[in-house]
């Protein structure tokens, strides 16, 4: 593709290259550059991408696109925003595949994975549609699993995924949209047929610094969508609604919401409620326990309504939905009279939601095993310590993914939020912490292993090792 075609729609400040250059591919990693490639020089948090221009040119790059004038005498294009330019160039390269899909984006702190999987299930069940999904757990093209390392991939990888979805015959693209993806323009140029907001609670403040910045970033999604589905029971709803330049469907538990729930029944094997939309009503059942599941189900139903699927039909589809891996997932414990649940809860709100939900149907003691990730927002650590110790009968504080931080130091920060430590046990080794919880569990107790969810690894000192909590429970049994 010619350079001029790749730059269509990009805000170019200066052009110091032949616009008729034939470009082989786009690369934003100098180590992966091949002859004839366009090298995207991206300014990172710790280094300027221009440092890698000599390596890229040595490998055969035809031109550099950058937001900073390079020191070297090379063919280059100076752009206003390197990250937005990369997203636009990638969209041009793949011929704007997102425009060939009905796009659904879900943002919020908690619930994104469950909502996107429920929407995928509804679309496949009701319409027989082939659906592409991009999310925290995995990327899917129909039933084909495409591995992922982050909730929303970098823009060239994202556009390549959209292109694969189109080529595979997908008619929908359903994705989790993280705040990082919005702030770093990974979804630059992508417009959504429907965008939804689940909730906003403390997370990623190492990146956003304040909740206000975090909320403002999330709200930007609704300026690029044709319809919005917003949880009006969340305190950040008003900010999201103020940025929505499109029709809004509100969801909630009060009758002033456009789509609301009544007759809630929260039981150990799931939730039951009646959904109301105008004059329509539908019975809803989902095999995922917890009040938060009601909100997730309402958001999924709201998205279905925005995609012109009627309430009764969408609700009927949810009855056949399965639980989501790592979200209040029951682990087999054959021969034992206690229960083990795995949940991805890794934020204060997530931990409070899952522990409160389980407390509601737990007949014995609630034993919570949890920690906090390293190299991430440290401000939530004492908050999670307080929540775990207050709600659980026994709190086993351990390591999550310490990454490059000292695991013991993270645990001390968690404990700093605990006023009364009489019900707390501290076991740094996560496998040993799981074993301890199983050793002390009695009849009707429920053990919640929080934080890892679907993950099958643990990262300590920057090294990832295999750790699947399901396997650890099975082995110990």
User: pLDDT per residue over 154-172, tens digit each?
Assistant: 999 999 999 999 999 999 9
Sorted by sequence, the CB contacts under 8 Å of residue 32 that are 6+ apart come out as none
Question: How far apart are the C-alpha atoms of 411 and 413, rounded to whole Å?
Answer: 5
User: What is the pLDDT, as a whole number, of residue 7?
Assistant: 98
| Owner of token pair 């930007």 | 220
Question: How far apart are the C-alpha atoms of 78 and 35, rounded to whole Å?
Answer: 21
141, 168 contact by CB (below 8 A): yes
Structure token digits, residue 441: 């569990």
Rounded to the nearest integer, the mean pLDDT of the chain is: 93
Considering Cα of 311, then 315, then 316, then 321, what sign does the dihedral take?
positive
Could you count the other beta carbons within 10 Å of the beta carbon of residue 467?
Answer: 18
Confidence category of residue 22, pLDDT binned at 50, 70, 90: very high
Query: Quick check: 129 pLDDT over 90?
Result: yes
Query: Quick check: 204 pLDDT over 60?
Result: no
- Mean pLDDT for 382-389 is 97
User: What is the pLDDT, as a whole number, of residue 386?
Assistant: 97
Query: Quick check: 109 pLDDT over 90?
Result: no
pTM above threshold 0.85: no
For the ranges 106-115, 213-222, 251-260, the maximum mean pLDDT occurs at 251-260
User: What is the pLDDT, as a whole number, of residue 429?
Assistant: 98
User: What is the pLDDT, as a whole number, of residue 68?
Assistant: 94
Q: Domain boundaries in the chain?
A: 3-88, 97-318, 329-476
CATH class belonging to 329-476: alpha beta
Considering Cα of 417, then 419, then 421, then 423, what sign does the dihedral take?
negative
CATH of region 97-318, choose from 1.25.10.10, 3.30.9.10, 3.40.1190.10, 3.90.1720.10: 3.40.1190.10
CATH, domain range 3-88: 3.40.1390.10
Measured in degrees and rounded to the nearest 5, phi and psi for residue 212 equal: -65, -45
């Amino acid at each position: 593709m010619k350079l001029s075609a790749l730059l269509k729609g990009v805000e170019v400040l200066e052009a110091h290259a032949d616009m008729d250059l034939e470009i082989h591919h786009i690369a934003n990693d100098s180590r992966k550059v091949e002859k004839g490639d366009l090298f995207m020089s991206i300014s990172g948090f710790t280094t300027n991408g221009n440092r890698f221009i000599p390596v890229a040119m040595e490998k055969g790059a035809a031109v550099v696109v950058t937001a900073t004038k390079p020191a070297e005498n090379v063919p280059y294009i100076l752009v206003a925003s390197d990250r937005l330019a990369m997203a636009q160039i990638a969209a041009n390269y793949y011929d704007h595949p997102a425009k060939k899909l009905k796009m659904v984006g879900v943002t919020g702190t908690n619930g994104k994975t469950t909502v996107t999987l429920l929407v995928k299930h509804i679309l496949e069940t009701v319409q027989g549609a082939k659906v592409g999904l991009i999310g925290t757990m995995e990327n899917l093209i129909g039933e084909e699993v495409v591995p992922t390392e982050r909730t929303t991939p970098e823009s060239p990888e994202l556009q390549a995924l959209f292109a694969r979805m189109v080529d595979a015959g997908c008619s929908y693209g359903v994705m989790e949209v993280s705040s990082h993806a919005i702030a770093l323009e990974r979804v630059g140029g992508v417009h959504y047929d429907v965008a939804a907001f689940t909730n906003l609670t403390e997370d990623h403040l190492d990146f956003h610094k304040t909740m206000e910045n975090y909320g403002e970033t999330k709200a930007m999604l609704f300026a690029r969508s044709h319809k919005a589905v917003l949880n009006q029971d969340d305190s950040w709803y008003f900010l999201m609604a103020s940025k929505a330049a499109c029709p809004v469907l509100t969801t909630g538990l009060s009758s002033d919401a456009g789509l609301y729930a009544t007759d809630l029944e929260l039981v150990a094997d799931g939730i039951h409620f009646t959904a109301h939309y105008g004059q329509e009503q539908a019975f809803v059942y989902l095999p995922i326990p917890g009040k938060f599941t009601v909100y997730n189900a309402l958001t999924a139903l709201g998205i279905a309504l925005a995609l012109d699927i009627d309430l009764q039909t969408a609700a009927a589809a949810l009855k056949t939905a399965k639980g989501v891996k790592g979200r209040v997932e029951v682990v087999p414990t054959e021969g034992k009279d206690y229960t083990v649940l795995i949940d991805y809860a890794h934020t204060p709100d997530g931990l409070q939601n899952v522990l409160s939900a389980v407390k509601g149907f737990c007949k014995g003691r609630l034993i919570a095993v949890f920690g906090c990730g390293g190299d991430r927002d440290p401000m939530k650590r004492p908050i999670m310590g307080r929540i775990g110790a207050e709600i659980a009968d026994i709190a086993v504080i351990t390591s999550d993914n310490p990454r490059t931080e000292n695991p013991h130091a993270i645990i001390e920060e968690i404990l700093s939020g605990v006023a009364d430590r009489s019900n707390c046990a501290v076991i740094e080794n996560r496998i040993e912490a799981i074993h301890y919880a199983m050793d002390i569990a009695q009849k009707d107790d429920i053990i919640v292993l929080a934080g890892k969810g679907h993950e099958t690894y643990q990262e300590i000192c920057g090294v990832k090792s295999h750790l699947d909590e399901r396997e650890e429970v099975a082995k110990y049994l």
